[in-house]
Amino acid sequence: MSTMKLSIGPIQYFWERERVLDFYQQAADSAAEIVYLGEVICSKRRLVKFEDWLAIGNELKQSGKDVILSSLTLLEAASEMSSLKKLCRNESFIVEANDISAVQLLSAAGKDFVTGPSFNIYNGRSLQLLARKGLKRWVLPVELGLETLKDLQGLRPEGVETEVFALGRLPLAYSARCYTARSHNLPKDDCQFKCIEYPDGRMLETQEDQEFLVLNGIQTQSALTHQVLDQLPELKALGVDVLRISPQHSHTMQIIEIFDAARKGAELEPLGKELLGMLPLGACNGYLVEQAGMDYGSEVSHDTQQTA
């Protein structure tokens, strides 16, 4: 069985331009084989423009990386559709479709594509139809677990790779409303780019101070970082091709080193301990083991009255 590849997912947050450029310089020297580039959350974030992404992509390609351009997840304005069309017309890189619009544009143009973690593929028939349209790799929706993954791997068409969201705050929801702006009492049309102040998202706590969710512009994420290090042997056994590391503001390159060591067979327990120290808050992995997404390991949340 071949070694699983590592990918760096698109940056979910709004970072300073210099930080982004610096991040991809480091990525070029990392153990990750695949790098996803582009703005997937908010079309108003334009410190790094389309041409810049192409330039970054070309440099990464020269460093031997497999580069994919990721599309916006929630399309609303006509201008966003124009940008998507431009992205899908590019001749240099494959596109990760984060919305059905991108799938339509790419398949109509006869181009291969990848689908991202917020694109709904829940069963074999969906996978097979999309494969006929040009799907070459798909990311398992983050709320699905190992049991379903096992079934889907059995139904997976020839020539389609499976990627699993392996580390990062979970992308949970998207809205017309910008929650970061709202948390500053600002309307979306005058957001003042407040999200740049929160390079790992802005914390939302319950009234009991439980750190629960993270606001990232129009996106809502988990406060805890989903991480699948403990399940690496199972994922490998199920024939998963790619593990995705979703960028966080600090330690992403060290995290890639940890996953690199783990996939090559290093002992997981010490790596897991090291990893925990690098996460902004704490870890969860419930989705993968068919529990609530916020659960972790054996610490299953209580209060569940199982009904038929």
Our CB check for another protein shows the closer of 60 and 105 to be 105
Q: Which one of residues 4, 48, 68, 103 is an interface residue with another protein (CB under 8 A)?
A: 103
Contact between 142 and another protein per CB under 8 A: yes
* Cα 24 to Cα 268: distance, rounded to the nearest angstrom: 27
Inter-residue contact 99 to 73 (CB < 8 Å) = yes
Contact between 170 and another protein per CB under 8 A: yes
Q: Does 299 participate in binding another protein (rule CB under 8 A)?
A: no
Q: For another protein, which is the closer residue by CB, 65 or 169?
A: 169
Binds another protein by CB under 8 A, chosen from 1, 51, 64, 206: 206
Q: What is the C-alpha to C-alpha distance for residues 119 and 125, in angstroms, rounded to an integer? A: 15
Residue type, 306: Q
Site for another protein in 19-58 (CB under 8 A): none
Q: Which residues, 6+ apart, have CB-to-CB distance to 239 below 8 Å?
A: 1, 153, 162
Closest approach of another protein to the CB of residue 56, in Å: 26
Cβ proximity of 236 and 265 under 8 Å = no
> C-beta of 28: minimal distance to another protein in Å?
32
Binding another protein by CB under 8 A: which of 177, 264, 269, 297?
A: 177
Identify which of 46, 111, 42 has the alpha carbon closest to the alpha carbon of residue 77.
42
DSSP state of 152: H
Shortest distance, position 111 Cβ to another protein, whole Å = 14
CA dihedral 143, 53, 103, 247 (to 10 degrees): -10
For residue 230, give both structure tokens: 């403990």
Q: In the range 76-95, which residues lie near another protein by CB under 8 A?
A: 76-78, 81, 84
Q: What is the smallest separation between the CB atom of 93 and another protein, expressed in angstroms?
A: 20
From the CB of 272, what's the least distance to another protein, in Å?
Answer: 22
Does residue 129 touch another protein according to CB under 8 A?
A: yes
Q: Kindly tell me which residue out of 1, 64, 176, 273 binds another protein, with binding defined by CB under 8 A.
A: 176
146 to 165, contacts with another protein by CB under 8 A?
147-148, 151-152, 154-155
Q: How many CB atoms lie within 10 A of CB 91?
A: 5
Tokens coding 42: 């908010």
CA nearest to 121, candidates 106, 100, 104: 100
211-270 binders of another protein (CB under 8 A): 212-213, 215, 220, 222
143 scored as a contact of another protein (CB under 8 A):
yes
Tell me the closest approach of the beta carbon of residue 132 to another protein, in angstroms: 10
Cα Rg of the chain, angstroms = 19
Cβ closer to another protein: 55 or 186?
186
- Beta sheet of 135-139, edge-to-edge order: 135-139, 113-115, 94-97, 66-70, 34-37, 5-8, 242-245
Least spacing, CB of residue 234 vs another protein, in Å: 17
Interface size with another protein, residues (CB under 8 A): 78
